Amino acid sequence: MKNIKKLIFLFIAWMITGSSQSLAQAPSDWLVDKMPADLEMDYALSSLPPSLRDGATVYLLDPAKGYYLARKGNNGFSAYVERTDWARGEFVSDTYAALGFDSIGSSSLLPVFFDVAAMRATGKYTAMQIRDLVIKRVKDGTYKAPSKTGICYMLSPLLRTHLDQGITNMVMPHYMIYAPFVDDRDIGGGWIPGGHQQFIIGTGDVLDKAHAIFNYIGIAAGESEKAKIIEQNKSLLARLEAYKSILKVDLNYTMSHHH
């Protein structure tokens, strides 16, 4: 009987200490890989019209620290590759979005996304904690809406993001006009296949209209413009695929499906 009691005691003690250790362990889902610097820079710059690329500031991601200044520009535009969709409240490692902000977005919106990346890089926050902190900072006025109309370019030939069917590669170059506190009803918009209707891109699921500082009016590039972007970026697409097979884009499908 004593031996049985001892075994039960040891089992309970193991359960308690084991559970405590597992709870204390930092989850590893916050980790993202480091893209080759030259590839990340070229991908980031592909978000912008060619005329703006030479003068743009570029930020690259150090997964252990966050974004750092890789090249100082002189035209007020900033380009980077976003790896964390904070509003979803979950960490994934295989989303990629190249964005190019004008001077207004660079001063008001970019710091938010860089704060998110820095918090994720520490491994000390869950995705939900980061989401809740961003929401809190919006509501208490720490993060503010762009002070006037401006634009974020997303003209790159590849966007890997969340859709209803999961994380998906898209060829959908588009323009995003700052539209804080605006929804689809205000502009008579809404998403349709192909994106050829104005629609709101935003955080309606987590921020109500009164706090929707991250909302944009999305306008898709025309079909001829998209075809030109694909043609001009075939080398970049090949490099992205060589870096990670999940970034492969079926150009034959893309061209036939949209024309």
On average, the pLDDT of the chain sits at 87
Higher pLDDT, 178 or 11: 178
| Separation CA 135–CA 206 (nearest Å) | 8
Confidence of residue 47 (pLDDT cuts 50, 70, 90): very high
pLDDT at 14: 35
| Separation CA 101–CA 71 (nearest Å) | 15
Instruction: Tell me the pLDDT tens digit for each residue of 194-250.
Output: 667 888 999 988 999 999 999 999 999 999 999 999 999 999 999 999 999 999 998
Instruction: Tell me the pLDDT tens digit for each residue of 53-82.
Output: 999 999 999 999 999 999 999 999 999 999
For residue 22, is pLDDT > 50? no
Higher pLDDT, 33 or 27: 33
Confidence of residue 135 (pLDDT cuts 50, 70, 90): very high
Half-sphere exposure of 27 (CA within 13 A, CB side): 10
- Quick one: which H or E segment has residue 192? none
